[in-house]
């Protein structure tokens, strides 16, 4: 596991100068929350899995909804299970609390850093934009205000940036939090080593952690990123500028953008589907197909935890993730038949499997296969060609 930066590091030594730098006491709080989350996930959760395995043997039938409901009833009788759930949610709440306080203290400095006199890229927000219901129905990851929160500043983006690195426990590229983006681009290069896209779109780009890797891997390409949150996009633009990447961000839904047909050579997303609805996934694939030029590539990356509804504990875990971490479509995204969805959207040469995590898309590893190498060591990827 990658550690957070040393508490003595100043803003100039961070991965990019826009990220919020904690004081000594703030860092101690963040390290405590990180270690608490490691304990909850690494020590307490495996114990619950063992208890569930024993309880499941007393339940007849397959891992259908009634079986999962019965397992939950049995697990709820265990005090350790109830305690684990409470700590799971509270550790996440504490994460955003300590990050938010630190970011708020630095608001003026961050806003000043976001004033880019001669930007390479751009940001386009829409005051009349209304985010989809599945975004507005709950604060995803329990982050107060959620992904679409906007207060005419870039503070929500700053909270997501610092909080995301702590939330991922440093395992997704340290403070850059960019391994998913690097891996998605590495997948494109695995399929087509000589791939030279002229125009690229990142759907659900958030604060641009998945978008900047495309701009760095293909510096001659025109790179765009869309998402629903104006604050996140303002931050994404400033962050990309500080990293030397020219990216054009705009506030739009991944289900329907305002770009013309056949505009892009590569359309991709990173961990977007499990934060949408099942209907939205189909719309996003259809939009990907519309936006791609003939021969263009769609790459959609997700967490490597897909399953087939045969394990009641895995199903219950997905249900709890949706409920206790506000992951609206966790179970649906992790049980979908992506080959069928891609084909229904009109793609050909569909590939479904796992791409090893890449630190640098231009350095690989360039291998792809049917077996996961483990969480944070590989990512599930589905890709297809527009014809």
Q: What is the pLDDT of residue 6?
A: 41
What is the distance between the alpha carbons of residues 363 and 351, in angstroms, rounded to a whole number? 21
**Over the chain, what is the mean pLDDT?**
91
pTM: 0.92
pLDDT more than 90, % of the chain: 74
What is the distance between the alpha carbons of residues 247 and 262, in angstroms, rounded to a whole number? 19
What is the distance between the alpha carbons of residues 228 and 110, in angstroms, rounded to a whole number? 21
Which whole number is the average pLDDT over 231-240?
97
> 367 falls in which pLDDT band (50, 70, 90)?
very high
Which whole number is the average pLDDT over 379-384?
97
Q: What is the pLDDT of residue 14?
A: 54
> 8 falls in which pLDDT band (50, 70, 90)?
very low
CA angle 353, 354, 359 (to 5 degrees): 150
Tell me how long the chain is.
387
Q: What is the pLDDT of residue 356?
A: 97
Lowest mean pLDDT among 94-98, 310-314, 361-365: 310-314
Q: Cβ distance 71 to 312 under 8 Å? A: yes
Q: What is the pLDDT of residue 1?
A: 38
> Would you say residue 125 has pLDDT above 80?
yes
Q: What is the pLDDT of residue 324?
A: 87
Q: What is the pLDDT of residue 337?
A: 93
């289900």: which residue's tokens? 255
Q: What is the pLDDT of residue 153?
A: 94
Q: What are the residues whose beta carbons fall under 8 Å from the beta carbon of 329, sequence distance 6 or more? A: 134, 273, 274, 275, 276, 277, 278, 280, 281, 322
Choices 3.40.50.150, 3.40.50.300, 1.20.950.20, 1.10.3860.10: CATH for 179-386: 3.40.50.150
Q: What is the pLDDT of residue 174?
A: 82
pLDDT tens-digit map of 302-330: 988 777 667 889 889 888 988 888 887 88
Q: What is the pLDDT of residue 172?
A: 83
What is the distance between the alpha carbons of residues 385 and 305, in angstroms, rounded to a whole number? 24
Which whole number is the average pLDDT over 288-305?
95
Which whole number is the average pLDDT over 46-65?
86
Which whole number is the average pLDDT over 211-221?
97
Q: What is the pLDDT of residue 63?
A: 64
Query: Which structure tokens are listed for 196?
Result: 């030279």
pLDDT tens-digit map of 72-86: 999 999 999 999 999
Contacts 24+ apart (CB under 8 A), 59-68: 59/312, 62/309, 62/310, 63/309, 63/310, 63/311, 63/312, 63/314, 63/315, 64/309, 67/312, 68/312, 68/315, 68/316, 68/319
The total of other beta-carbon atoms located within 10 Å of residue 288's CB is 28
Which whole number is the average pLDDT over 213-242?
97
pLDDT tens-digit map of 131-189: 999 999 889 999 999 999 898 999 999 999 999 888 887 778 888 889 999 999 999 99
Q: What is the pLDDT of residue 211?
A: 98
Which whole number is the average pLDDT over 30-45?
93
């Amino acid at each position: 596991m990658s550690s957070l930066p040393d508490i003595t590091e100043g803003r100039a030594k961070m991965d990019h100068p826009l990220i919020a730098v904690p004081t000594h006491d703030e860092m101690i709080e963040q390290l405590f929350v990180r270690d608490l989350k490691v304990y909850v996930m690494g020590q307490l959760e495996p114990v619950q899995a063992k208890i569930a395995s024993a309880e499941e043997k007393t339940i007849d039938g397959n891992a259908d909804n009634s079986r999962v409901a019965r397992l939950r009833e049995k697990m709820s009788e265990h005090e350790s299970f109830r305690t684990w759930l409470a700590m799971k949610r509270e550790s996440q709440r504490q994460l955003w609390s300590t990050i938010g306080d630190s970011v708020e203290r630095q608001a003026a400095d961050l806003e000043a850093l976001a004033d880019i006199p001669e930007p390479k890229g751009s940001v386009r927000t829409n005051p009349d934009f209304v985010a989809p219901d599945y975004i507005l129905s709950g604060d995803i990851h329990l982050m107060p205000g959620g992904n679409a929160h906007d207060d005419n500043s870039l503070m929500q983006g700053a909270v997501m940036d610092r909080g995301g690195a702590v939330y991922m426990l440093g395992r997704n590229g340290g403070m850059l939090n960019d391994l998913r983006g690097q891996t998605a681009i590495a997948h494109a290069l695995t399929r087509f080593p000589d791939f030279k896209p002229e125009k690229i779109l990142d759907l659900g780009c958030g604060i641009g952690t998945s978008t900047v890797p495309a701009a760095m891997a293909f510096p001659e390409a025109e790179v765009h990123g869309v998402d629903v949150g104006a604050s996140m996009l303002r931050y994404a633009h400033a962050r990309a500028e500080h990293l030397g990447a020219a990216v054009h961000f705009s506030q739009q839904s991944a289900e329907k953008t305002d770009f013309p047909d056949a505009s892009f050579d590569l359309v991709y997303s990173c961990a977007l589907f499990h934060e949408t609805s099942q209907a939205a996934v189909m719309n996003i694939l259809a939009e990907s197909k519309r936006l791609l030029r003939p021969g263009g590539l769609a790459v959609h990356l997700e967490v490597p935890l897909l399953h087939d509804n045969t394990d009641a504990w895995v199903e219950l875990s997905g249900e709890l993730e949706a409920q206790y971490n506000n992951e609206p479509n966790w179970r649906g995204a992790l049980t979908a038949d992506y080959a069928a969805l891609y084909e229904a959207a009109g793609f050909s040469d569909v590939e479904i499997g796992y791409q090893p995590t890449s630190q640098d898309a231009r350095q690989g590893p360039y291998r792809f296969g049917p077996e996961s190498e483990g969480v944070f060591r590989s990512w599930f990827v589905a890709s297809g060609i527009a014809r």
